[in-house]
A and B are shown apart, each in its own frame.
Chain A
């Protein structure tokens, strides 16, 4: 018994090494990764982080206070003083775009992490137990996927009152079924593998089998799905904030900045242009990573978009 487990880990290690090599060779994945690392850098160093009395992150990339208004300097075009100009309240757009990276990544990662926990649980349980449990869970997931994502998200946010946290809850719920579907089909495909049957024959508990045998084999497709879905949550957050049903002012979310700058687009297009560029760069980063990961992990194309 112990030998069989030993060879399994060895096999996994070799598998992991192969994955790293292929990932490094994949241009799309590497460019995506570079963009994402840069985004994290901007998000972390955008402003000082102070928890209680401790300043964890002592310096700040933002040249101006992102929420400080200055009516005399409103709608200034980009200059050395204000790299991306100022908005209708005289706030420095460059500083706000930098802090916006924080909001965007925060929303993307928290909502998808929550969706991963819920979706993977639902999907693996459905795929492992099959039968009625599977039917019931997957029909519920189908029903949630029968709404256009934006419609479901904005209804949930409207019901809970628009706020940053409620946007995250809504996005997590909207993307749970997508993750659940992938987790289920991955669980189904390993369900009948000999190593799972061996574990059942050894009399291992369901929890052991699910966590030690089934889940590790679902990681690949789930990673691809998560990466693509983070890009989607960023787009959806931007759309919700643009409609005024997302992050609330004065928090500098990119979508909200476009919502507020849109009316001045004719005279001061930079109010919209720079946050839009930021959205595009972030989403392209995650899409590239997702695409590259898919090339490496899922060459047959089983992932749904």
Chain B
């Protein structure tokens, strides 16, 4: 019961936050210089035609009415029409969003398979050269921007060793093999970039668990060290780690904006950059809202999961 009411409270907070998010997105994009009607009609447009189009688009309305119109549209799933493509923004996003999700999810999978074994090994061999090396590598990993990981992977695996395409996307429904082939480099680059955090978290929470009494008890029962580590300690250490993984997914989703540019991956990140380049305000607003919504949702799920498994959070109030 306490969990349900915690969840409802958090959802209510999220609704308020979301409203503020739309306000920020709308406010910011409306400062963008450039007359929308002029952008559509081109430099030879007459004053009358500009005025007519502005009336048709509702741009002659006061800003707060435009905002209300936009939010009402958003709720109905209507994000307006892109100035650059002339098609509904929602359609453009619907095509590109799954590609970005594919990239972010694959990256998260790569980083989990790398970081959890590394973290466990580092924790078990705490303060040995192995641990020190792993921790130092993680530190370097944290200190490189995601786009640089992309360039490193392109340089090493595509340009030097060969065998991987440097750019582009292939739909998994058309050609699954080529799709995976194109996905491997960007997903690994981002996966490695995310590895550091999850590895550090796994390491520190494993160290905590391994010092608990029940671990000593399991050892004294005569269980093998392997069973103690994997079956007992890791299971309990998983809680904070899973939370970090969920946060890392949202981080990955933010990272796609830059990484998609490196690999020419036609997802929502590149769509955002195209919208900025073309001063395509409706498209930019749509992209911002959708990215922020997914970012918020994955953070929310991480919080909710954490509260579910660790009841202390719920009673700790808002902090």
Bound pair (A, B): yes
Q: Which residues of A contact B (CB under 8 A)?
A: 139-140, 142-144, 146-151, 154-156, 158-161, 185, 231, 235, 238-239, 242-243, 245, 255, 258, 262, 265-266, 269, 272, 276, 279-280, 283-284, 287-288
**Which residues of B come within 8 Å of A, CB atoms?**
13, 16-18, 20-21, 23-24, 28-29, 31-33, 139-140, 142-148, 151, 154-155, 159, 250-251, 253-255, 257-258, 261, 272-273, 276, 284, 288, 291-292, 295-296, 299, 319
Determine how close the nearest CB of chain A comes to the CB of B68; give it in whole angstroms. 18
Q: How many A-B residue pairs have CB under 8 A?
A: 116
Contact of B17 among A146, A231, A255, A288 (CB under 8 A): A146
A151 surroundings in chain B (CB, below 8 A): 254, 257, 272, 288, 291-292
Main secondary structure of the interface of B (DSSP, over half): helix
**Structural contact, B146 and A239, CB atoms closer than 8 A:** yes
A32 to chain B: closest CB distance in Å? 11
Minimum CB–CB distance for B147 against chain A, Å: 5
Please give, as numbers and ranges, the residues of chain A lying within 8 Å of B154 by CB-CB distance.
265
Of B32, B140, B253, the contact of A148 (CB 8 Å cutoff)? B253
Q: Are B254 and A150 in contact (CB under 8 A)?
A: yes
Contact (Cβ within 8 A) B147 A284: no
Residues of A within 8 A of B159 (CB): 265-266
Contact status B16-A159, CB under 8 Å: no
Q: DSSP majority for the A interface?
A: helix
The residue on B at minimum CB distance from A156 is B28
Closest to B31 in A: A159
Determine the chain A residues whose CB is within 8 A of the CB of B288 once the complex forms. Answer: 147, 151, 155
Query: Complex: how many Å from CA A221 to CA B209?
Result: 27
A159 and B276 alpha carbons, distance in the complex (Å) = 9
Q: List 30 A-B contacts (CB under 8 A).
A: A142-B17, A143-B17, A143-B21, A143-B24, A144-B24, A146-B21, A146-B295, A148-B291, A154-B272, A154-B273, A154-B276, A155-B28, A155-B29, A155-B284, A159-B31, A160-B31, A161-B33, A235-B143, A235-B145, A238-B145, A238-B147, A243-B261, A255-B145, A258-B151, A265-B154, A266-B155, A279-B145, A279-B148, A283-B144, A288-B139
> How close is A302's CB to chain B, nearest CB, in angstroms?
9
From B253, which residue of chain A is reached at the shortest CB distance? Answer: A148
CA distance A288 to B24 in the complex (A): 34
- 6 nearest A-B pairs in the assembled complex, by CB-CB distance: A148-B254, A143-B20, A283-B143, A158-B276, A284-B143, A235-B145
In the assembled complex, which residues on chain B have CB atoms less than 8 Å from the CB atom of A258? 147-148, 151
Q: Say how far A182's CB is from chain B's closest CB, in angstroms.
A: 12
